[in-house]
Structure 1
Amino acid sequence: MIIPVNGEEPGLPERLQQIRDAGDVPLVVDARWPEAHRSAVVAAATAAELPHGTAWATLTSGSSGAPRIVLRSAESWADSFAAVSEFLDAGPGDNVALPAPPASSLTLFSLAHSLSGGPRPMPRVTPDADALHGTPQSLRAVLDAGAPPRLRAALIGGSHLDPALRQRAEAAGIRVTAYYGAAELSFVACDEGDGLRPFPGVDLQIRHGDLWVRSAFIASGYAGAPGPLRRDGEWATVGDRAELIDGRLRLLGRADDAILSASATIVPEEVEAVLRSIPGVRDAIVFGLPREPVGALVSALLEFDGDASVDVRQLAAAQLAPAHRPRRWFAGEIPRTASGKPARAEAVRLVLAGEMQSLAA
């Protein structure tokens, strides 16, 4: 049985342990969700038939739509605990700060780790924090506030890590390991500053442009609505496009995020990488806006550093093919999921609702 747990309730680790000891499966929900959304997640969880050995139920980020409930065994997380402890440089006597909400798989993983002898979880960054497991946004917030003196390592996932942010952290004495993963696959690849390599214990393959993963960390399946996880024996994929070049993984985005505009197919991540390289641009998200008869207009929402003034159109045009250049530009705060991932579906909704500021020409 899946037992929903409010992520805000006191003593959350102890409550998770009680549920596990009773042979049930905890699912952490977020009290900030709209009631209709929370009710739908709880209904799907309580009606689910669980595969044998299910120990945890977690949620996808919902970056492209509604989150899904992912089921996994205890071993599918426990087998990566040793590698994570090494990246965090933290053991049972150390404190790991977890700024992302407990409903995110990123934080729930660390809570499970703590119950198996990992570092002690802290819901926020305090002077006692020895390590951080969070998103680029949480790392930036730590640095902006002044890094705690004991903070020595950060494990960062959820979205793109700006190289300048890594440099800031390292200058503050914090060793940074970024990683790529998915709720269904757990850890896939890690980057200690020289590019994404397979995470310890993970094998990677590219098949027809899709990334396939073989590891002990793969989830069992879903409760309720199905998702993108596909299997082929020991191998699995969630449909992410990628390349392997000299042992480094280059991500090209989820196939269903591709923008079809006229006769071209545009991969948002490729355009975003160019836009993030423009001085003054802190982050960028690229998406398609419906436009007949071409299919979609390539559009970009930019976050700037302070009051940076830069001609992004001209600089982007110098680096992007005509079909890949955004036709509509917006400025403002990028909407994100609870775990910190950019939320493309929400960005499109905000733009269509007229709630995003157009970038002046």
Structure 2
Amino acid sequence: MEVVRPDEHDDPVAAVLAAHRVGAVLSLATSGTSGTARRVLRSTDSWWAGFAAYSRLSRVDAGARVWLPGPDTSTMVLFAAVHAAVVGVVRVLEPGVATHACLTPAQLERRGGDLSAGTMVVVAGAHLPGRVLAAAFDRGLGVAHYYGAAELSFVAAGEGAGGLRPFPGVEIDLRDTPAPGTIWVRSRWVCDGYEGSPGALLREGDWASVGDVGRLRDGVLEVLGRPDAVTTAGTTVLVADVEAALAPVAHGPFAVHGVPHERLGEVLAVTVVDPADRARLQDAARRLPAAHRPRRWRTVGALPLTAAGKLDRGALSVGSAAAERAGGRS
């Protein structure tokens, strides 16, 4: 079976379209949130089968002008770009002339003001902060939101403030393995595995997971994210748990991450963008169990993102450690 690696072509979208015509397998390069390089194998049919549902969610149809910031090698952007080519819509380079856009939550927060009122935005990410959604509504933007992964494709989606519900054709089950609340899915869009080094994909029969954890209430899925852990003084703390506890009081973007510590191994750190959030989050953190309380606090102008528009926790950890060495410890 022929394998096509779109990122190795000058035009990744054309490479995917050509692969579909001959029934080749796609090998998609993705770093995920952890920064660990891997290649996901999937059939082109596993993407094409979701186009109709994605069209309904995004409202992208003939005549639309779609803005897709970020590289076409990002699986999120590549899927949306291939969908646009199949549907026959125009991609634009400037947000002000777009009728539709596909963004990460961080991109919506930073660039949403560049979009014209009435633009329909699809947000791809595990969590869409309420403040970001409210700001988009204030600008007159339409918003749909979906959660997925390179390995799983679509998992859950919703419009406006309605929350995430299982994507059409997807079954969701929360299990206690490998961590309490782990999201498992069954659908026709799960990938075929990896080319080369293995990644986060777990399988149990027809079910698959990438290790994200969440809560399912009245059919609405709340995604807490990949349970990245910080081991401090022998205690393992899930970053998702701490972020979930602090998020209700935050007014701006923030991130919880680990910072190396000579004696304790690691300590929890929080990086904020809004300087006033520091006091708000510190007050909320005092109510957490001792092991869950961040010990380092830092304010930056903007949270670092990967090329795909996702939070770069590795850069945050490196930046916090460098600031501490330079005398910026707090």
> Which of residues 307, 311, 320 is equivalent to 1:338?
307
For 2:297, give the aligned amino acid. W
1:123 and 1:330 mapped to 2: Cα distance? Answer: 34
Instruction: Give the root-mean-square deviation of aligned CA atoms.
Output: 2.8
1:261 deviates by 2.6
> Which of residues 180, 200, 203 is equivalent to 2:168?
200
- Give yes or no for contact 1:56–1:74 (8 Å, CA) kept in 2: yes
Matched, 1:214 2:214: no
Cross-structure match for 2:215: 243
- Mark the CA change 1:322 to 1:5 in structure 2 (over 3 Å): closer, same or farther: closer
For 1:201, give the aligned amino acid. G
Cross-structure match for 2:17: 17
Q: TM-score, normalised by structure 2?
A: 0.86
1:113 and 1:106 mapped to 2: Cα distance? Answer: 11
- Mark the CA change 1:244 to 1:3 in structure 2 (over 3 Å): closer, same or farther: closer
- Give yes or no for contact 1:350–1:356 (8 Å, CA) kept in 2: no
- Give yes or no for contact 2:296–2:329 (8 Å, CA) kept in 1: no
1:57 and 1:204 mapped to 2: Cα distance? Answer: 26
- Give yes or no for contact 1:91–1:119 (8 Å, CA) kept in 2: yes
Matched, 1:56 2:26: yes
Cross-structure match for 2:40: 70
Matched, 1:101 2:61: no
> Which of residues 288, 312, 315 is equivalent to 2:283?
315
The 5-angstrom pairing of residues 138-149 of structure 1 reads 138-145=107-114, 147-149=115-117
- Which SS does the other structure have where 1:112 is aligned? helix
Query: Where does structure 2 lack aligned partners over 5 or more consecutive residues?
Result: none
1:86 and 1:237 mapped to 2: Cα distance? Answer: 25
1:58 and 1:356 mapped to 2: Cα distance? Answer: 38
For 1:296, give the aligned amino acid. E
| Residue correspondences, number | 322
Matched, 1:172 2:139: yes
- Mark the CA change 1:228 to 1:346 in structure 2 (over 3 Å): closer, same or farther: same
The 5-angstrom pairing of residues 124-143 of structure 1 reads 124-127=94-97, 129-143=98-112
Q: TM-score, normalised by structure 1?
A: 0.79
For 2:293, give the aligned amino acid. R
Cross-structure match for 1:156: 123
- 1:159-201 deviations in whole A, cap 9, x for unaligned? 5322111112123332212221111001111233132221121
1:298 deviates by 1.2
1:310 deviates by 5.1
1:303 deviates by 1.7
- Mark the CA change 1:313 to 1:107 in structure 2 (over 3 Å): closer, same or farther: closer
- Give yes or no for contact 1:135–1:156 (8 Å, CA) kept in 2: yes
1:308 deviates by 4.0
1:118 and 1:202 mapped to 2: Cα distance? Answer: 26
2:327 and 2:60 mapped to 1: Cα distance? Answer: 45
- Give yes or no for contact 1:289–1:297 (8 Å, CA) kept in 2: yes
1:79 and 1:245 mapped to 2: Cα distance? Answer: 28
- Mark the CA change 1:100 to 1:158 in structure 2 (over 3 Å): closer, same or farther: farther
- Of residues 193-202 and 292-301 in structure 1, the stretch that sits farther from structure 2 once superposed is 292-301
- Of residues 75-84 and 311-320 in structure 1, the stretch that sits farther from structure 2 once superposed is 311-320
- Give yes or no for contact 1:285–1:300 (8 Å, CA) kept in 2: yes
1:300 and 1:317 mapped to 2: Cα distance? Answer: 10
- Mark the CA change 1:170 to 1:252 in structure 2 (over 3 Å): closer, same or farther: closer
Cross-structure match for 1:260: 231
2:216 and 2:144 mapped to 1: Cα distance? Answer: 19
- Give yes or no for contact 1:301–1:330 (8 Å, CA) kept in 2: yes
- Give yes or no for contact 1:275–1:284 (8 Å, CA) kept in 2: no
- Which SS does the other structure have where 2:40 is aligned? strand
- Which SS does the other structure have where 2:249 is aligned? coil
